[in-house]
Amino acid sequence: MSIRLWLLSGFTRLVIKRWLAKVVEVTDLREAFERHAKRVHIAPPFAACRNGFLGGIPVKWVSCGRPTSDNILFYVHGGGFVVGSPDTHRHMVAYLCRSLGIEAVMPRYRLAPEHPFPAGFEDVVASYRALITSGRDPSRIILGGDSAGGGLVLSLLAYISKHNLPRPKGCFALSPAVDFTRSGESMVENAASEAVLVAARFEEMSKMYLAGQDPKQPFASPLFADFPNCPPVLFHVADHEILRDDALAMQCHLLDQGADVLVRSWPNGFHVWHMMLGYIPEARQALDDIAAFIKQLP
C-alpha cells in the first residue's frame, strides 16, 4: 500500500464519505461530481474527445494518439445510476486507449430518478446496437464499466446473450453493482471500512433507480440473468468495499455457466480507485492490469 493511497483513503473516508452521507439533492451531487472531475481528473497527453450520437443516444468518442488497432472499447460510466457522465470518466478511458492503441465510445445514458429503470439500460443497448450496425465488428468490441456502469455493461452482456447477438471480444467490470436485493454480506460487513460509498444510502439509490420495480429483474440485477456464450470477463474489486460480494457472487454465477472469469482483488483499494489516476500508483497499476487482460484476449 503506497503512502499516497493511505493518505487519500483517509481523506476520502473523513471528508468525501461524510459529505455523501449528508447531501440531499441529486442536483447538488451531480454538480459536485462534475466539478470534481474537471478540477482533479487529468487526461493523459494527446487525449482527444468528440461528441456524437449512436442510435439517437449522445455518446463521447475518446482516443489518445492515433489508434493502431481495430479493437474498440464500449465503456459505461458509473455514478450510482444517478450521477456521472462520460466527462467524469474520460481520463481513465483515455489512458486505456493510449495503452491499447484503440478508440473508445461512452454512452451518455439517462439517469435516475428522472429516468428510472429501464431508461438507462435501454440507452446502453440502443447505442451498442447502433455501434454494430455502423459496421463495427462485434468480435473486436471490448465491454467495460465501473460501479453502476459495471452493472449496466453486464446487463448489456446478458441482453446480447438472450438475443443471440454476436459475442464481443471480452468484458471488464470494476466494482460492479449487480444485485439490487443486497444479498451480499459485504454490504453490512464493510459498511464501516468502505472509504467512499455509504451503505445506509444504497436502499435510497435503489428506490430512485427501480421506482418500485422488481429488484430481481435480470436486466436490472444481472446476477439473476443468463449468460450463454459469455466472453472472458475480468472483475476488479477492493477487499473492504460494500460491493465486494457483488463481484464475487457474479464471478460464481458466470463460472457456473461455463464462462472464463478472473477476479483481481486489491486489499487496500477503495471503490473504483482507478479514478485517481495520476495521484496513486495503484490506479495506474490497475488500469495496466486491464490493458494486459485485453491484450491477451483471442
Which residue of the set 77, 236, 271, 274 is catalytic?
Answer: 271
The answer to whether 76 and 124 are in contact (CB under 8 A) is: yes
Helix (H) and strand (E) counts in the chain: 10, 8
Three-class DSSP category at 24: coil
- Whether 219 contacts 175, CB under 8 Å: no
Give the Cα separation of 107 and 52 in Å (integer): 9
- Alpha carbons 222 and 161: distance in angstroms, whole number: 12
Angle at 210 between CA 209 and CA 216, to 5 degrees: 130
134: annotated active-site residue = no
- Cβ distance 77 to 173 under 8 Å? no
* Catalytic hit among 147, 161, 175, 186: 147
Catalytic residue (one of 241, 253, 274, 282): 241
SS3 141: strand
Q: Is 91 a catalytic residue?
A: no
Is 271 labeled as catalytic in the residue annotation?
A: yes
Q: Which residues are identified as catalytic? A: 147, 241, 271
